[in-house]
Amino acid sequence: MGDFMAIQTINLTVPGGDTPRSANTKINANFSNQAHAASRLVGTSAGQVPLAENTYKAAFSNLARRASDDAITDANNLPSGTRYYLAAGSTNTPNTKHDTAWNIETRQGVSSNVLNQIALGGNNSTAGMYLRNRNSSSAWGEWSIVYTNKNTTVDGNGLLKPSSPVLRVFSDRIEGNNDADIMQAVFTKNGVGDYTISNTTGLRTDGWYITIPNDMNGNPKVAVTLSEKDGVVSLKSYKRIFDMSDFIFKPDLEQPLEIPDGRWIDLRFEELTIDETTL
């Protein structure tokens, strides 16, 4: 194998140099040896030699539709400087809902153990991006999510919050983020301060699910009642009244009130269920 891999060098010295026949034999051996650049085609496909301006294209192979036997099943085992398709059910991924993900792993620093990893979610209406680091002791840190306008929302009080499908409920309409638009919720106004939102995935059961607009002092501008059954949400807004017996503010059910002009109530819903494509 060593002789096959060696580059054949022509001896041009005289006497004792290569004859034309032996020189051509060496030239043929060099071009026939698939381990030599001279025998490769120029291009960016597998096994080809890229031009200098195209080296970035050859840095990673396109794994967009790789078979399952080419996939990696543990994100901790990605080779350095590569990206691989993560098979469904892979371990050490950032989120079980991002089983089909792209990963890019790059080396940094002096220690060969220090690595950065980037995971990109696939086959989901909201693409997720996650980051983590491996330290010099080869211990992986926790995944951190990158917040974008696809996975966050600005609520009615100007605060940035995590989002799944989020609807802004105005007094006369609803507006949704990308996921909520896909949900295709239906808004119905039943009367003053009385709204129904149907065809939803149901109110979020973890984290926040409603945000009420506040005044300049941080006090809610309305009080609300909220109920949901089988994806149909009933939202009613009222004037706030202070209950002396409980010493808390409550909705005054005798005085319905519209959501103030230019303000809205945020409702957050369960994530959409999207079938992952089997690769």
Q: How far is CA 265 from CA 165, 217, 242, 261, in A?
A: 14, 18, 21, 11
- Who has greater pLDDT, 163 or 173? 173
Local confidence band at 246 (pLDDT 50, 70, 90 cut-offs): confident
The pTM of this model reads: 0.55
| Mean residue pLDDT across the chain | 77
- Who has greater pLDDT, 135 or 213? 213
Local confidence band at 255 (pLDDT 50, 70, 90 cut-offs): very high
Mean local confidence (pLDDT), 19-24 = 85
- What the block records as the tokens of 201 is 């995935």
Lowest mean pLDDT among 155-159, 188-192, 195-199: 155-159
Task: State yes or no: pLDDT of 189 exceeds 60.
Answer: yes
- Who has greater pLDDT, 132 or 272? 132
Task: State yes or no: pLDDT of 71 exceeds 90.
Answer: no
Task: State yes or no: pLDDT of 192 exceeds 70.
Answer: yes
* Domain residue extents for the chain: 2-58, 68-145, 152-268
- What the block records as the tokens of 262 is 């230019």
- Who has greater pLDDT, 83 or 172? 172
Whose tokens are 């990696």? That residue is 72
Mean local confidence (pLDDT), 55-71 = 47
- Written as one string, the DSSP assignment of 189-242 is EEETTEEEEES---B-SSS--EE--B-TTS-BSSEEEEEEETTEEEEEEEEEEE
- Who has greater pLDDT, 244 or 237? 237
Q: Render pLDDT for 89-144 as a digit per residue (tens, 0 to 9).
A: 677 777 655 444 455 555 555 556 777 787 776 545 456 788 888 887 888 888 88
